[in-house]
Amino acid sequence: MAQRISLVSPDLAPLEELTPRLLAALSSGQLTNAREVEAFENEAAERLNAPHVVAVSSCTSGLMLVERCLGIRGEVITPSFTFFGGAHGLLWNGLKPVLADCDPETFQIDPISVKRLVTPSTGAILATHIFGCPAPVDELEEIAERKRIPLIFDAAHGLGAHWRGRDISARGDASVYSLSPTKQITTGEGGLIATKHGELAQMLRQARNYGKGAAYDCDVLGLNARMTEVQAVIGRAALPRLAEAVRRRNEIAEQYQSQLLGTPGVRFQRIPSEAYSSRKDFAILMEDGLSRNRLMDELEDSGVETRAYFDPPLHRQRLYRRFHQPDVEPLHATDRVSGHIVCLPIHTALTDADVRRVASEIRRFAEAYHPAAELAGQAQPPAWSPVAATPGD
């Protein structure tokens, strides 16, 4: 059997580069929230063109702290088509998730759905950059400004993404990134909060350390969400690799699209012209009667790992069903997308040959099972050639 193709593969700096830096951190006597963390925050702020960056233990803890420090109350509009970690943070803060529909082509939260769901009880909007493609930030900012409510971005997938040629880090009131092993760069676990608000950044630094002030006295309700020095060392070594990691992911996405172009029943996520996706995931929809689950089973049998992100969506999960308002927002697009989606392998260790193999398996599946497929004798998909992927393209 051919070698297995994994869905993800952590992208780390070479061990010979990391080892002396890790040894220095381990021998410093300060293993958490010290010099390396501060340097990582400063370097990340410069690379992301963000006024302030705060390092935390995870994206989820970062979202929880942002919501707490902004003093959000009541309802928070968030997509149903998203990872449940963001919604978990809302519940931990005693907030009520109000589930919005997605755009059926971009998979991002739909601003029209958001407008339908805004009420006097709305305390904030929490949008997600799904699969690394920026959410419609301009329209969401307009809604938030008009309603005078905070706008937070769950940017777990979005490290390295741009909107209208600029990094997404300074949009809204805060963007919270993930540095877990499936992301564009990783610190093992960890997260970064980017914000344009200096006062919020100062409060977040206090809140990530239980809320402890200058004295042994807390005036902010915080938790232990500190990043370790070891994580910061790994992150500092990874930051210079971010642009190349995102470029390679976009190159792989271009190859997939070229190889699968014209395959019956296969549809791609649409990336808006204003957006440059960080391509945390590459997703296709299996339509026209093709079984998503059967494709995933056959790919697994052939040694290709896939996932169906995010199925079930929040409103179909036991913990969140009670927040579904079908009379107000039936979430039809979310059901259609989640029921047909397949995420294919994408990471910097993936070779061009791996991409061709995955695409070949999908074309073979479509030829065998598409009700109206007549692929025999058709021209093969056009050969892929490198496409320069630059922010703002």
Per-residue confidence (pLDDT) for residue 146, from 0 to 100: 98
pLDDT at 384 over 70: no
pLDDT at 391 over 80: no
Per-residue confidence (pLDDT) for residue 377, from 0 to 100: 40
291 and 173 part of one domain: no
26 and 153 part of one domain: yes
Per-residue confidence (pLDDT) for residue 383, from 0 to 100: 39
Range of the domain at 95: 15-241
The reported pTM is: 0.93
Averaged confidence pLDDT in the chain: 94
Model confidence pLDDT, tens digit, residues 281-316: 999 999 999 999 999 999 999 999 999 999 999 999
Identify the domain boundary among 241, 263, 285: 241
Per-residue confidence (pLDDT) for residue 382, from 0 to 100: 42
86 and 122 part of one domain: yes
pLDDT at 13 over 60: yes
Whole-number Å distance between alpha carbons of 165 and 275: 8
63 and 161 part of one domain: yes
Whole-number Å distance between alpha carbons of 362 and 258: 13
Average of per-residue pLDDT across 31-44? 95
Per-residue confidence (pLDDT) for residue 159, from 0 to 100: 98
Average of per-residue pLDDT across 117-129? 98
pLDDT at 393 over 50: no
Q: Tell me the pLDDT band of 213, cut-offs 50, 70 and 90.
A: confident
pLDDT at 225 over 70: yes
Q: Tell me the pLDDT band of 78, cut-offs 50, 70 and 90.
A: very high
Model confidence pLDDT, tens digit, residues 133-159: 999 999 999 999 999 999 999 999 999
Q: Tell me the pLDDT band of 1, cut-offs 50, 70 and 90.
A: low
137 and 266 part of one domain: no
Beta bridge partners of 113: none
Beta bridge partners of 224: 209
364 and 287 part of one domain: yes
Number of compact structural domains in the chain: 2
49 and 159 part of one domain: yes
107 and 177 part of one domain: yes
User: How large a percentage of the chain has pLDDT more than 70?
Assistant: 94
Report if residue 384 sits inside a domain: no
pLDDT at 93 over 50: yes
What CATH number did the domain enclosing 363 receive? 3.90.1150.10
CA angle 310–135–48, rounded 5-degree value = 110
Report if residue 380 sits inside a domain: no
Q: Tell me the pLDDT band of 373, cut-offs 50, 70 and 90.
A: low
Least trusted range by pLDDT, from 93-102, 273-282, 364-373: 364-373
Q: When comparing pLDDT for 180 and 216, which is higher?
A: 180
225 and 201 part of one domain: yes
45 and 129 part of one domain: yes
CA angle 277–271–162, rounded 5-degree value = 35
Report if residue 106 sits inside a domain: yes
Whole-number Å distance between alpha carbons of 310 and 307: 9
Contacts of 134 (CB under 8 A, 6+ apart): 108, 158, 161, 162, 163, 168, 272, 274, 275, 276, 277
Model confidence pLDDT, tens digit, residues 326-351: 999 999 999 999 999 999 999 999 99
Identify the domain boundary among 241, 274, 290: 241
